[in-house]
Structure 1
Amino acid sequence: MRHAVVLSGLLGVAGVAALVTGLQPATARPPAVQATALNQAAPARALNQARVAEYRGVRIPVPAGWEVHRLDLDPTRCVRHDRPAIYLGRPGPEPDCPARLIGGAETLHIEPLDGATGASGASGTAQRGRAVEMRVAKLARFTVRKNVDHQVRIDLPEAGASVTGVYGADTDVLQTVIRSIRLTAEWITTPPPSPLRGGTVEGESSVAPLTERAKSGTSRSWGKGRGFDTCTAPSKRAMAAWRRSYSVVNIYIGGASRGCSQPNLTRSWIRAVRRMGYRLIPTYVGKQAPCNRDNFRVHFKAGTAAAEGRRAAAAAVARARALRIPRDMPIYFDMEAYSSGKAKCRRAVLTFLDAWSRALADREYVSGVYSSAASGARDLGRANGITRPVAIWFAHWDNRPNPYATPYLRARWWHPHRRIKQYRGSHRERHGGIALNIDSNIVDGHVY
């Protein structure tokens, strides 16, 4: 998820054009959906003569320029948050995601609601029809409230589906599309989710916290070895196939700029891969530097940097706890490369990361930061009067797998056992018959 530039110039919903028959994506993947005319009037800010994607009784207007993908027809499709799109169905267990994505685009993902059942008989249909009317009325008034992860979820039991929406710099486009959703009174059930997906964080039983804790001077929250990071957590099958080649893997646990959905990332997935012998790098991808407006949609302002750093830390800890990542374990903030030579921007980043580290310490987690060696990592090393992160993960793509081989960081900074180096950028590797797009890392630092 490194240094990617997201699409710019997202077209507003009001500018939607009519769709020709069928959606034909540019690639050779299967067509996403067939489109139909929108029969009901949309809210005042919504669409005229819009394309409409249909899934399990949910009918969604498709803004101009948005892609539409049917995951049941295309199970390796990656649910990306870096370009406007609608995804329909459950993602497959092994999505083909790029290694490097930064999110911030408006997306919708509609998938079956666990435990929902379809309508049966005239009486059931009539009852569902009344429920549908009430639900549509609520959707027409729905307000997307801003939150630190830039994400909302709406359960639609009348259609046996749930809707997850992601927004970028503001909520207007996503809110307009959600308010334009229409439901039908009948839908057809689909097969239960694949056991490879593992279930959701909220639905799993609690587990006893691990006893592995960092101790002063003799911490075992650090590890050594070869690591990789990729946009979405691979399947358990893929993790088992890759275990002989790698011992550390990054996981993106949340954040407004997270580039992909995480259908595999659950408590049971974490337990399983740790039992395989993996160590984990929990990473939160939040708002980016204020001077990165041209590269990333979601960024913080210089005047609110400290407050945003504290909010990011609180949200990251909440996600870590939901995944049963215990206290005294590291959480890294992904601060992508920025214009370090711009003093105002540099000060804002350091203020943000100072607040991040302090807030994590207050919550008894170990602070870490990922950034470019030439910007965030070097600026943190040089800075005075701030709380530096306990651990650093830096990108320096020189193809040298040595965490201490970089001219940008002094040897005494984050030494020993507090460094991770990303030494090679996006590329494709195959192990055990399974290929993934990854970045390569060498680890002598804090991991879970």
Structure 2
Amino acid sequence: MAMLGFAGIPTASAASSSAVYQTINYHGYEIQVPASWPVYDLAADPTRCVLFNRHAVYLGTPGADQHCPTRAYGRTEAVLVQPEPSSVSAGAVELGPDTASFSGALSADEATVHTVQFTAPGPGVQVTASYGTDEAGIRAILSGARMTAKTAAKAPVVSSPQATAGTSSASASGQVAGQVAGSGSATPVKKAATSSGLSAVQGQGLGIDTCTVPSAATMKDWLASPYRVISTYLGGANWACTYGDFTPGWVGQVAAEGWKFIPIWVGPQASCTQLTNTTVIDPANAAAQGEAEAASAVAAAQQFGYGQGTPIYYDMESYSTAAAGCSQATLTFLGGWTAGLHAAGYLSGVYSSAATGIADLASQYTNSAYQSPDDVWFADWNGNPVLVNPYAPQADWQGAIMHQYYGDHYETWGGDTLQLDSDVVDAAVAGDADASAGGQATITDEPAAVSVSPGGDGGTTQLTIQAGPRLSAVHWRAEPPAGVTVSPSSGIAVLSGNSQATVSLHVTGAASLASGRYAVPITASANGQQVTETFLLVSNGSSIATPVVLYAADADSMAIAQAEAQELALPASNLTGDFETAWTDAASGSDLVIAVGTAASNALFHNACGWTNPAGEAMGHTPFGYAAVPLQNGAGGVFEGADGSNDAATRAMSEQFAQYAMAGTVPNDSADQPLGSITPANTCLGSPDVPTQ
């Protein structure tokens, strides 16, 4: 009886068979595959997801925006044939110019990820073939290939099913034990130096998990979303998707727009997994297997610019903790994974079900003999974006935990729809360390305070955002209290290096707005981290009591103080030009005195003019300090100096100090020098008695 290959496809020594197969001819490259395999033309359907966990043939270049399921695991026999790229990975296998048949030995890299990839320059194609348990079957397909033409690209040709003699027989398992570096890619990745600035940064906020990354264009559109962290699958024997648009260039562009990344590796699963078509852990070799997977993941991470220090998360899907020995083997494997990553200078992360993998890891958290991961990512689809879970004690992995709280669903932002899982993040991720260090963007000026009557229109005020030296996607949001409306209430400013954006904020009051003063917090974030905060002060009514006193010691500064008092609805008693009054208010500790202008600051700090003072201190010696940040209440002997270099700066500083003081907050603008930190000169300026009206 004739020897047969996979699914009845004749091997080189086969005679005839009765099995049905089809002949595929693309770009001058011809193979025979089972007639039951679907054939997809990617040029005609660029959103088709290329998956290696189902039998299929894909012809053409995978699209940049593939519509992939969020979860696709395992490998089986499938083939992707695409035009030969202009450049291929270092060390990639290349056939001779007059052949299309591949029959060489698999490298340990290919055996690890159950994927064969080579180029055939004759027909001008690159072939990626995956396999599960039937390495011999996929080899039969590849060794039987032939070159039909050395021609330019042409439309895919699929022949009609034909009958062939013989019957199929199961082939032997093709699993190979070799474990070395490899990305498991379905498309080549150029080697890239880790000079992109990507390293470990603290990720906070919301994230998304997609099997194949969206295109760079879609990622830019999704800046309209609340998400700022995205998974990036590096490979592994049980990752069924392809890279799509994922390249070092994609990483650099998307990182510059403010995104952070969760690098993921999908290698062998627990020996008691319920997933099909998956490579599993060998309990007898679990530790070494985990270390080898770490080496493979590091090699793949480096191709995309994820340098030393970045975390790589292992995807360990749910398994049965009741199966004898399964939990222990899985823990041993994950301990090896952590050890391997640490040896290479990377952080270790693990994704798993809260009730299985995370619960098992938590049981070992205080075991000093066990190599626990640095960060964990638990799946519990309860729809609640919180970081606490009964299977992950709060004392464990503080600031190093993520929660996948919402499973497979669709969301649309910026006009683009993605299929995704949703996550809440407070853990190490990969990002641009320079951009994440803070100070890259600030709100430079306090929005001018506004007064609004019930049901009235308070007009507009301006929000000014200043970018740092790097490209920034700055997200700002105003959170007005009930009764106050700010429009727009949020937005995005994409700023080039050191540029500014000005946003007009329109304020209205509800008919039921009670008399009082209302603080509207405005926060701005860049690269997923809050970088600055300010607020808009809205008042309804006049002469609202407050412990803030404005003191001016010269005519120009008094004009500024009067304008500020009107905007802030301060009563007349909270504005003074009298030195003794300002002294008494500051010394009492019941009021925060804001010295408007250099003369007032010099007077309170040094009393250089020798004005009469209640404490009887000699000229140049007073008991007052000069606060670097505003205080909500006076602290006895402390005042705030708003002494700008010109009238405009003095006006901005006095307004900012007064607004912050009345709102009970402290500024965190990323200024080079804290406001109010310049010591006043010991110089007599102005007059001790400036009229308040």
Which TM-score applies when normalising by structure 1?
0.80
Contact 1:346 1:379 in 2 (8 A): yes
> Which residue is 1:342 aligned to?
323
**Post-superposition offset of 1:337:** 0.3
> Which residue is 1:315 aligned to?
296
More displaced, 145-154 or 279-288? 145-154
1:423 aligns with 2:416: no
1:413/1:107 Cα in 2 relative to 1: closer, same or farther (>3 Å)? same
Contact 2:247 2:304 in 1 (8 A): yes
Which residue identity does 2:208 align to in structure 1?
F
Q: How does 1:1-16 map to 2 (within 5 A)?
A: 13-15=6-8
Q: If each structure's strand is expressed as a fraction of its own residues, which one has the higher value?
A: 2
Contact 1:226 1:441 in 2 (8 A): yes
1: distance between equivalents of 2:56 and 2:213?
A: 21
Q: In structure 2, which of residues 383, 393, 396 is the aligned counterpart of residue 410 of structure 1?
A: 393
Q: In structure 2, which of residues 112, 118, 121 is the aligned counterpart of residue 148 of structure 1?
A: 112
1:388/1:88 Cα in 2 relative to 1: closer, same or farther (>3 Å)? same
1:227 aligns with 2:191: no
1:64/1:47 Cα in 2 relative to 1: closer, same or farther (>3 Å)? farther
Secondary structure of the corresponding residue to residue 178 of structure 1: helix
Q: How does 1:348-387 map to 2 (within 5 A)?
A: 348-383=329-364, 384=367, 385-387=369-371
2: distance between equivalents of 1:115 and 1:244?
A: 35
1:178 aligns with 2:142: yes
Contact 2:313 2:351 in 1 (8 A): yes
C-alpha RMSD of the superposition? 2.3
Q: How does 1:235-246 map to 2 (within 5 A)?
A: 235-245=215-225, 246=227
Which residue identity does 1:411 align to in structure 2?
Q
Larger-gyration structure (1/2): 2
CA deviation profile, 1:260-306 (whole Å, cap 9, x unmatched): 01121110000011011001000000011111266342112111111
> Which residue is 1:208 aligned to?
195
Which residue identity does 1:103 align to in structure 2?
G
Q: In structure 1, which of residues 390, 397, 402 is the aligned counterpart of residue 374 of structure 2?
A: 390
**Post-superposition offset of 1:131:** 4.2
1:348/1:296 Cα in 2 relative to 1: closer, same or farther (>3 Å)? farther
> Which residue is 1:442 aligned to?
424
Secondary structure of the corresponding residue to residue 394 of structure 1: strand
Q: In structure 2, which of residues 311, 314, 328 is the aligned counterpart of residue 333 of structure 1?
A: 314
Structure with the greater relative contact order (CA < 8 A, sep ≥ 6): 1 or 2? 1
CA deviation profile, 1:3-24 (whole Å, cap 9, x unmatched): xxxxxxxxx72346xxxxxxxx
2: distance between equivalents of 1:442 and 1:350?
A: 25
1:269/1:237 Cα in 2 relative to 1: closer, same or farther (>3 Å)? same
**Post-superposition offset of 1:189:** 3.1
1:205/1:353 Cα in 2 relative to 1: closer, same or farther (>3 Å)? closer
Q: In structure 1, which of residues 71, 87, 111 is the aligned counterpart of residue 82 of structure 2?
A: 111
Which residue identity does 1:82 align to in structure 2?
N
CA deviation profile, 1:154-175 (whole Å, cap 9, x unmatched): 1100001010111213412211
Which residue identity does 1:231 align to in structure 2?
C
Contact 2:196 2:252 in 1 (8 A): no
> Which residue is 1:122 aligned to?
none
Q: In structure 1, which of residues 234, 249, 255 is the aligned counterpart of residue 236 of structure 2?
A: 255
Contact 2:248 2:305 in 1 (8 A): yes
**Post-superposition offset of 1:208:** 2.1
> Which residue is 1:31 aligned to?
none
Contact 1:142 1:175 in 2 (8 A): no
Secondary structure of the corresponding residue to residue 257 of structure 1: coil
Contact 1:15 1:64 in 2 (8 A): no
Secondary structure of the corresponding residue to residue 243 of structure 1: helix
**Post-superposition offset of 1:244:** 2.5
> Which residue is 2:569 aligned to?
none
Q: In structure 1, which of residues 189, 194, 198 is the aligned counterpart of residue 153 of structure 2?
A: 189
Which residue identity does 1:418 align to in structure 2?
A
CA deviation profile, 1:174-203 (whole Å, cap 9, x unmatched): 111111211113322369xxxxxxx9531x
Contact 1:46 1:180 in 2 (8 A): no
1: distance between equivalents of 2:192 and 2:291?
A: 29
More displaced, 62-71 or 336-345? 62-71
Which residue identity does 1:407 align to in structure 2?
P
Contact 1:14 1:47 in 2 (8 A): no
2: distance between equivalents of 1:46 and 1:101?
A: 38
Q: In structure 2, which of residues 125, 136, 141 is the aligned counterpart of residue 161 of structure 1?
A: 125
> Which residue is 2:73 aligned to?
102
**Post-superposition offset of 1:63:** 2.0
Secondary structure of the corresponding residue to residue 367 of structure 1: strand
> Which residue is 2:13 aligned to?
44
Query: Aligned residues, how many?
Result: 380
**Post-superposition offset of 1:145:** 4.5
Which residue identity does 2:67 align to in structure 1?
D
Contact 1:393 1:420 in 2 (8 A): yes
